[in-house]
Structure 1
Amino acid sequence: MKEVRPPKRPLIFYYCVAVLILLLFNFLAMPWLAQRQIQEVDYNTFVEMLEDGQVGLVQLQEQENRVLFTNTEETAVYKTALVGDPDLTQRVLDAGASLTGEEIQQTDPILSFLLSWVLPIVIFIALGQYLSRRMMKNMGGPNAMAFGKSNAKMYVKSSEGIKFSDVAGEDEAKENLKEIVEYLHDPGRYREIGATMPKGILLVGPPGTGKTMLAKAVAGEANVPFFSMSGSEFVEMFVGMGASKVRDLFKQAKEKAPCIVFIDEIDAIGQKRNSGTYGGNDEREQTLNQLLTEMDGFEENTGVIILAATNRPESLDPALTRPGRFDRRVPVELPDLQGREDILKVHAKKIKVAEDVDWNKIARMASGASGAELANIVNEAALRAVRDGRRFATEADLEESIEVVIAGYQKKNAILTDEEKKVVSYHEIGHALVAAKQTNSAPVQKITIIPRTSGALGYTMQVDEGNHYLMSQAELENKIATLTGGRAAEELVFHSASTGASNDIEQATKLARAMITRYGMSPDFDMVALETVQNQYLGGDSSLACSAETAAKIDQQVVELVKRQHEKASQILSENRKKLDELAQYLYEKETITGDEFMEILNK
């Protein structure tokens, strides 16, 4: 359960409380303490003390109807009632006492000094110390005052840590990292032949592919200290603190060598330097410069290996990625078919699964999924099994969890009208029928018209039989035709168009533009790159690199390409109108059909 903390009060609140305490003390406590110091005597005693010469100061307070007086040393204060004595003034003067109109000090001067000056200062100092500790605790815990010190976490070999056996689907990356672990365990084998290990290894790849998990596996396998730190932890509010942290981190690493230092999200401090930027970037550049200096200052075979992870390698400074600093770049890409199957089996060990699950089929359905998404798919299957009251997850649970990741949960309360349901049925069958009637198209796995939380009113799932690394021009054109099949079916049957094809239009346009600008599949432009891709691991944003006239020609060819495939899809559906009606009616009644059912009706 997440801890619920009370809201933090502003600093002015504490200062107001301190001032209020002092005011209450001065107006309430001080008068009370002063009253405690006055001794009350009768008038006869006052007269006797006058006659004996024991009175120093005398103050007549007619409004209060009392007399205040002190002894000769003025160390004690007395009070008595003021009676009608006309000779009192003369008697006081004859006794050698002094009449005064000023207020007689009712408390001890030392006590008054302590209460009036020392006590407020002590209160404000204590308040300042409390607020200082509170602020430093919020900034970084008990070690917050250790500015410039590295707060890297250090791990050692653990019996319960992640091992290489817990990481699947990235065999090449594991081989590279296993070599590092072996070098740290037995460097003599490599020194004998004169080989040296890379000073730095950079793990690059899309989010969720397991870069951090691979680093944890190294920590679990290596029987050496393992320092882990995020790139953002180097950036501080004080200038120069990031560079100081880098120095301290490498100092600790050299003392603990042989060891491994892991910097996650290194692009936070390793971005390309720009001489035209000042201010906030200056601190980051100082940190980067210190990191470059420390990595270049290593002597050979010191046994300190630097691991770093990023999904933005193109943004890193060239001085950081050159040989001698990060000598080796290890790509951690999305897993292939066999890799997805292995990853699913690794995560399936954590839950109870039916024995008859076809993991190859599940891996094919999850094409393009990262390791984190595959772990989520397995967990969603387990959650679905619990919701349905089963003690283990089945293949149907895994298939449904893939659909949840792709299109969201089923919207059980979304009820389509008969007309909408019929339009969606023809739309989805249009996709499936165009795909089935074309060669080199992925087989249809499932067709459904049940609305999903992603906004889709239905979808057609196609699953490749095996690994697919290259796509020909004909295959790409067939894919565009399949995407336009839904709209073509609506136009053929209802002679109108709906808003349901918005996502199809977006994907078809994007694919057609890539064919012309990036894949060189246009006879007019030949093998000329007209578009550049940035951040390939974070969405792959693209930008045109051509003149306005060329951009206009590109737009024209994109329209012609999509229009041509749209006409091809319409022709395929017109030639198979009876099958279109039969399949759409069957889907309308069943709401969800499998690829086998679809092919059985199509080939009947």
Structure 2
Amino acid sequence: MADKAKGAAKPPMKMKKFLRGPWLWIALAISVLLIGSSLIGGQQFTKVDTQVGLQMIQSGSAKTVKILDGNQRVDVELRNPDAEYGQSVQFYYVSGRAESVAAAVADAEISEGWTDEVPSTPWYLALLGSLLPFIIILALFWFLMSSMSGGNRGVMQFGKSKAKMVSKETSNVTFDDVAGIEEALEELTELKDFLKNPKKFLDMGAKIPRGVLLYGPPGTGKTLIAKAVAGEAGVPFFSISGSDFVEM
């Protein structure tokens, strides 16, 4: 019984070291940097109303114009900075006005010309989109593993025993330390013999005892007797409070 308690399943050490190592955090940091650079990188545009943007183009104030058909967006760089909007502006249009916007741009006088294109996703964002589910699953797995190895506070420890073990080396209480209840100690001698040499009793066909109930008011030595039995048998001693004892 003691060997089974010591041999409880534990998370693989190599997996725990990998998940607690720097590689997971490095991957998450790179992902955040790539997303951040894509959001804040590039030329900064001031958003204007569709009609305002078209008026700028038709008035000949545009230096370059780029129509992004997939996003229904027009990026405009002005010849001279506008007092209100600056030098780079952009506006969006509804799909029904796509032809009229293209015609207005084509008819306007644009000093360095205009282009239209379908926006493409940068390769690193496409790669990140493929790896992001794996990263999320790995991070979730790391969280669960940490919870399992984090003691009784972990979410995976709900409903499990909260018994505390006192090792054989630190449990040195024996029957000699208990006085005044010789009759009770005699009744526990057979239990001590079973814990010390269970094979002897199993060979005779004896069944493993499911437990022994020690009854008495507080302070009468029940815990001391249990420690003495464990000390005499040379087995670990487990203790648990009544509030944590949820299963019998």
TM above 0.5: no
TM-score by length of 1: 0.20
TM-score by length of 2: 0.41
- Which fold has the larger relative contact order, with Cα–Cα distance below 8 Å and residues 6 or more apart in sequence? 2
